[in-house]
Each structure stands twice: as C-alpha cells, then as structure tokens.
Structure 1
C-alpha cells in the first residue's frame, strides 16, 4: 500500500489513489470508510525478497507449520545449528529473513536463529492478518522449536514479542527495535496518513473490538512491558519516521528491568543492519 523511499528518515507514502478511494468511501458513508480502512490496516504488502537477504533464505531450513489457535499456516526458517536458540520476529510487511544481518552475527557468536513469515507475509499464505496472529505464531513456534534464550522483535514484531512474553513465552532476555507502543496512537497515525477525519480512528478501534471481542489497548506495548520481569533492551532511532521515538521511551519507562539505546539518522529499517546497533545487541545478550 505504501510507496518505497530510499531516505531512511522519510516516512513511507500512501499512494494518492488509495487516499482518494478513502475520501470517496467517507463521502458515501462512515460505516463504509471504516470497513475499508480496517481492510487496508490489516493488509500487509508482500515485498520481493531483497538480494541482501537471499543468502539467509538459501541457507535456512524452511518448514510450513500450522497455528491451531488461528487456523493458519506459516513458513518457519531455521538458520544455523546450535542449542542456543534465538527467536527473530519481523514487523509489518516484513519477512523471516529481514533481520538477516542480526542473524548472521548471532551465528558467528554460536547461536542459531528461528524466524518466520507471519500470516499474510512473505511465503506464508493469506491476505490479511492482525497482531494477535503474530503473538499466537510466536507461542506455537516456542512449542515446536523452543526453548529460546532470547527473543528479538522489530516494529510490530517488537510489540508482539512483549505481548508473547506477557502471555507465557519464556526467554532470558528480549530486544525490541523500533517497536510500536499505544494501539490507539497507531490507529490515529494510520487514519491521519489516509487523510481521514480523526473520529474514524475511534470508529476503527470500535470496529476491531467488536469483530475480535477484545480491548485493543490490551495489546499496547507499554501494558505488556509493565508485566515483564526479564531484562529487555529497547532500541529506537530518534529520527524514525514510522514509529516516533516517544514509543520506545514510553515502553522503557514501564519496564522493570529495561535498557534504552537511542540512535540517530537510521530510521525504521536501516537500523536493523547497523554495526553499532548489532554490537549493542550482542553485548546485551552476552552480559550477566
């Protein structure tokens, strides 16, 4: 849905045709535009795997597993052979090889990694998904491939890791990079980018709460963080155009045993390949 940009601190742009279609729906009826916005919000883009990720894709052992609680299948990547396992969780419109640079360094340091294409992402089937699908995938992968020493999540994957730990995932430590935080603020930002009236954001939240019979704010990262006891490293870029740095700062504030590492000029995705960031992750993992 969003256009690519080569500038790491420039936000992805939503095509004008989608914005125009939203305005047409809004003109027809509030209910229609709410349903249309919900469809857009839950539909990730399946990007072509970049060349830089092909080696991890090629060297991984790949399996398709079923996630009973959501009745969906996902593709899982086993990268390296070691009993010291680390779980990697990509973000929205990402894929299981997106954290390849981190995975490479972990392999060189004696770890193996398990990652996956979340439902409707990468090689996994489907067109729509939500965060609870990510969380259930993590918990099922833990049953099949765990235990994991560490869990590392990027963006929505970071939120999902924190929620999975809250829901029973056992790890010694966790790392979240560019994680979103408050669900309502995420919805507000999405509706703003669609150039719709702010009231649609509240209607969108109510739509999801009615559909899934849940309270959306229960998935906010800061709420999960308040219940986590294990050490968590929060990494965020001051210039992140997709997820404001205040999200990382707020998450860290609610952690009992948290560390905060802020970077500059790396944006939302380039941060995953930065040598200083990866060294910080390794130092955190190895520390007592």
Structure 2
C-alpha cells in the first residue's frame, strides 16, 4: 500500500478581480499602478476572530492605547497576572489572539502575556499600515507594559521583533516564526502575485522610501540579525508557501547567538499551534 503524503500547503492567492484591476492600472500608467500596488501592500485583511481564540479574547484585560510616534490607537491584550511577561506579535492580517496556543502554554509555565492588534488589524482602527508602525507599536508597548523577558513574533511580527530589538527593545531572548529576511524579496513576491512586470517592484520600493524617508533594506530581518547579541530561536517550516524556508536559514546565519528549528508539512500558520513547536519554544524560554 503506498505511503500517504501530506496534503500540500497552499499559498494564499490574490483575488482575480484585484489582479485584473492592477493590470488595468498598469495599462494607464506606471505611476497609477505603483500607487495602486502600494495601497494593496499596506492594506491588511481583517478576519473575524475564530472560535478557538475566544478564550484568550474573553479572559484578557483589553485596553486601547495611543502610539504618539505614529498618532494611532491600538488594542492591547493582557493575559495572565505573572510579573514575568512575554510579548507576542502577530503577522500581517493577524490578531493579538492568533498565537493563543503559545500564550496558553507560557501561562502554564509562569508567564503572563501582552499582545496587541497592530494598526489596521483586529480591533485596532484604520485601514492601512506598514512594518515601521509594528515596530513603533512594540517599542511604545514596552514603555507602558514592560519589561518583557521574551518577545515572540510570527511572520511580519518576527521581522518587527528583530527590528525592535535592534532599535532598543530590551528582552533576554526572542523567537521568530516563519519570518521573511529581505524586504525587496517580499516586494518582488507581491508584485509577482499581482502578475505585474518585475520593474514595478523597484518602483514600489522607491515609492515607500520617498513617502516614509527610509531605506527599505534597513528593515530586512537579516540586517537586524547582525546587530543582535541575545539568543534568538528561528522556527520555520520547510514547506512554508508564504515565506520560503531559505529566509529563516538566512536570518539564522546572520545571528550571533541563533538556533534554528525546522519543521515539515506545517506551512505558514499551522506551525503556530503545533505541539513540537510549542514545546521547543517553552524549552528555549525557560532554559
């Protein structure tokens, strides 16, 4: 009898009507399609909170706080009452309760949790945001809710954690899960999914650099990794269709005190609830 193979993990697809809209914009002008792509790139999808996350949602103390540096308000979750605190950071189109299984396990091991809905995510208001606002939010949350023993981030949240540490977030350890390494690669992949010409990716980069007066590559996780001296656990799935495993490996290669844990068949999101992954996180956290 043939051995069963796991179901392939599929990448999230951009709806066809958006692809057609982008192509129509490209016909009109490069400036228009760049602005349209920028709008899409900075607009997360707000998902209804699933039932599995309702326990953390209902048992958390929730407050809305102001982030002065970006003049936006975000929802913050306090889960548990221990003085030992862990900061959890969701990824793009995620929520502050998305890492609930990791949160529950940390609670069992004597930690309390602080998480948040990033700008334009979950219960936080707004429709657009960008990684720099994730980072700014993390640093403000540390001022109001810290100090934290450890920070754990998924996907864009992991990239944001590394950049926040580079910019002064004071934690003893960090875990990043399924995170990208090079911002330009993320832009390239996004433009490819829109089925636009590769040159639009460079125009998109220039658009953001002019608008925010930053260099996009300065936010690349592998760059931040070079400047971080604390222990970092990098977790990535070999079959991640959203962020290729080479990204996690590249980040690990640039860390001073990094460890790498690769999984198989969990993709980009199931990895957050996997028993072996959570066990690895707990071992790393408490040892």
TM-superposed CA distance for 1:9, in Å, is: 1.5
| Distance in 1 of aligned mates of 2:218 and 2:110 | 36
Matching residue of 2:276: 276
| Distance in 2 of aligned mates of 1:192 and 1:13 | 11
- Secondary structure of 2:120's partner? coil
Matching residue of 1:53: 53
| Distance in 2 of aligned mates of 1:257 and 1:226 | 10
| Distance in 1 of aligned mates of 2:83 and 2:8 | 35
- Secondary structure of 2:19's partner? helix
- Secondary structure of 1:107's partner? helix
TM-superposed CA distance for 1:119, in Å, is: 0.2
Matching residue of 1:190: 190
| Distance in 2 of aligned mates of 1:106 and 1:272 | 13
TM-superposed CA distance for 1:70, in Å, is: 0.3
TM-superposed CA distance for 1:286, in Å, is: 1.3
Matching residue of 1:70: 70
| Distance in 1 of aligned mates of 2:96 and 2:265 | 25
CA contact (8 A) 1:8 1:270 kept: no
Cα gap change, 1:8/1:155 in structure 2, threshold over 3 Å: closer, same or farther? farther
- Secondary structure of 2:38's partner? helix
TM-superposed CA distance for 1:8, in Å, is: 7.0
| Distance in 1 of aligned mates of 2:180 and 2:142 | 23
Matching residue of 1:237: 237
- Secondary structure of 2:152's partner? strand
How large is the Cα RMSD of the aligned pairs? 0.7
Cα deviation 1:183-242 (Å, max 9, x = unaligned): 000000000000000000000000000000110000000000000000000000000000
Q: Are 1:27 and 2:54 counterparts?
A: no
Superposed, 1:1-288 pairs within 5 Å as 9-287=9-287
Matching residue of 1:4: none
| Distance in 2 of aligned mates of 1:17 and 1:124 | 27
| Distance in 1 of aligned mates of 2:142 and 2:152 | 13
Give TM-score scaled by structure 2 length.
0.97
Give TM-score scaled by structure 1 length.
0.97
Matching residue of 2:4: none
Moved runs in structure 1, 4+ residues, more than 2 A? none
| Distance in 2 of aligned mates of 1:165 and 1:103 | 21
Number of matched pairs? 281
| Distance in 2 of aligned mates of 1:132 and 1:286 | 30
Q: Could you list the runs of 5+ residues in structure 2 that have no partner in the other structure?
A: 1-6
CA contact (8 A) 1:8 1:266 kept: no
Cα deviation 1:21-69 (Å, max 9, x = unaligned): 0000000000000000000000000000010000000000000000000
Matching residue of 2:3: none
- Secondary structure of 1:261's partner? strand
Cα gap change, 1:134/1:21 in structure 2, threshold over 3 Å: closer, same or farther? same
Matching residue of 1:3: none
Cα deviation 1:155-177 (Å, max 9, x = unaligned): 00000000000000000000000
| Distance in 2 of aligned mates of 1:164 and 1:135 | 5
Q: Could you list the runs of 5+ residues in structure 1 that have no partner in the other structure?
A: 1-6
| Distance in 2 of aligned mates of 1:277 and 1:125 | 32
